[in-house]
Chain A
Amino acid sequence: MTNDTGPLETAPFPEHLTARAVDSRTSPRLHGFDVEGDLAVNYSFAEMVVIALTGTPPDRVQGQAAEVAFAFWLPAFAADAPAHAAGLAGLCGTSTSGLVACGATALAEQSRWVVAAHQGLLAYLEQGSPVLPPEFTSAGADDDMAVQRMRSAVEAEVPFLAQRPTRTAAVLGLLHFAGLRGAEQLEASLTIARLPGVLAEALLVPHGRIREYPMNLPPFDYRGQR
């Protein structure tokens, strides 16, 4: 015996959806700040990302550090999974939204992976320990030169950058300096920073030119019965 009412009709539920960050009742406000009359005038896009994710406006030094961290993280190499996947989507002739969704999904996973691999760094940054854990220390000249360029680009003296971190650790350290904390905020900011790089690569892949794609890179070795 069935009827047309069920638990979703009889249980008490609120009648409103709760908005917690953006108030759109008049001109849009982000965490209470007028987007059009205040943030757009006084803050850069990277700073607005910090505000969006933390609810707190960075000071000028932090904001400039966020700009640099975003710029350093933006490039997405064709060899890396997000741009590779999004580029393949383009090759298959998908819609722009399909390509963006494909790249953003892989990119969000990459961000999760990067932050998870740097949990020890996050603990170090929170505790302000004097010695950088060895696994996050520069592996050579490439890291050193990148971090040197980062130090030149950042207006403030960020003591962490003097400890010879890897390039990735330096980006995370700079985001931390800018006020972004914890895995959620860092994963989100890495994803936002790199999405333009992923799309830059993928949107240039010509649709349908399947013979131009290296099908056997990397090769797969089928181990099942033939």
Chain B
Amino acid sequence: MKPEGLPTRIALARDGEHSYCGHRVFADLLGPETMTGLLWLAVGGRRLAAEERAVLDDAAVALSVADPRIWPLKIARIAASYGGSLSGVAAGMVMLQDAAVGAWSFGEAARLLDRVADLSEGPDGARRKRVCELVHATPRLPGFGVAFRAQDERVLALRAALTSRGWNSRRYMKALDLLADVARAERRVEPNIGLPVAAVLLELGLELGAISILSVALLQHMFFANAAEGAQQKAAVLRSLPDECVRYAGAPARLSPRATQRVGSRRVP
């Protein structure tokens, strides 16, 4: 039986011209479109206006903490240490799928933010009460928690950039501010960069199911940067740490049951 055609909205290669997500590559996209715009088109399904692309670029720039010590980037660095840059990129990025640490989790932050936005209709007091109840009913708040410092400087920077672009009165920005305020008061937790990035993506109209993958796409440059340098360096210390840097904490030395049997049987005359 011949398989049926798989529907795709992504692309069609044609003679002399190609289609990409509903647009002619050479006639429509070449020239005015940007890399950021192509990424959004890939997942978001529409072309962004220049000012929208600029906000997306703000998010990507604010995300840029590319320190090679940060766990997912360290993975890229380690995997690239034999000289394969794309192996480093792939190892670092594939790890993000469903991971609690890293940009995939921004999707959960977006879901929470979407619920808050729905609760944010109506009078002020009632809104806050509903969000308060939600915050108390959610054991682990996605988009919250800042490691090793009091506040996430990326949140402050992106929030300031969004303010300068006049985004404060937008639906998900207001939800972000309300949620952050309530969580700070009720749970003493601070938002991390996942929350404002999720707000930006929701504001631009991205579906909840696409938030995670686009969030990862926005920080791909950090994986490329670390994998490229890591592959070039081929650092021996990343290929194998010195023995004295490793502490064994597993089971103590022991004989297997079969070895024990052998030893025992040799003792029996």
Residues of A at the B interface (CB closer than 8 Å) are 6-8, 10-11, 15-25, 29, 31-34, 38-39, 41-43, 51, 55, 57, 59, 95, 97-98, 101, 105, 217-226
Contact = CB atoms under 8 A, between A and B. Distances in A.
Interface string B150-172: 00000000000000000000000
B51 interface: no
A78 B176 CA distance: 49
Contacts of A41: 259
Nearest to A221: B5
A39 B256 contact: yes
Nearest to B83: A97
B258 A29 contact: no
A23 B245 contact: no
Contacts of B253: 23, 29, 32, 34
A101 B94 CA distance: 11
Given A105-B90, A220-B6, A224-B12, A32 B254 contact: yes
Contacts of B86: 98
Contacts, number: 123
A101 B148 contact: no
Contacts of B147: 7
Contact of A16 (B67, B94, B247, B252): B247
B140 interface: no
A225 B23 contact: yes
Nearest to A34: B253
Interface of B: 3-12, 14, 19, 21-24, 67, 69, 84, 86-87, 90, 94, 147-149, 241, 243, 245-259, 262
A51 B147 CA distance: 36
A218 B257 contact: no
Contacts of B94: 105
Contacts of A57: 256-258
A225 B19 contact: yes
Contacts of A221: 5-8
Q: Which 6 A-B pairs have the closest CB atoms?
A: A32-B251, A221-B5, A7-B148, A218-B3, A42-B258, A222-B12
B258 A43 contact: yes
Contacts of B24: 226
Given A29-B253, A220-B5, 7 more contacts: A19-B250, A59-B257, A95-B84, A218-B4, A221-B5, A223-B8, A224-B8
8 contacts: A17-B247, A18-B248, A59-B257, A95-B84, A97-B84, A218-B3, A222-B12, A224-B19
Contacts of A224: 8-12, 19, 21-23
Contacts of B21: 224
Given A43-B258, A57-B257, A105-B94, A15 B12 contact: no
A219 B9 contact: no
A226 B19 CA distance: 6
A1 to B, nearest CB: 12
Nearest to B86: A98
B250 A20 contact: yes
A101 B80 CA distance: 13
B248 A19 contact: yes
B5 A218 contact: yes
A223 B251 contact: no
Contacts of A7: 147-149
B238 to A, nearest CB: 12
A38 to B, nearest CB: 5
B22, B241, B246 — most chain A CB neighbours (10 Å): B246
A101 B250 contact: no
A217 B3 contact: yes
B19 A222 contact: yes
Nearest to B147: A7
A18 B3 contact: no
A226 B16 CA distance: 12
A10 B149 CA distance: 10
Contacts of A20: 249-250
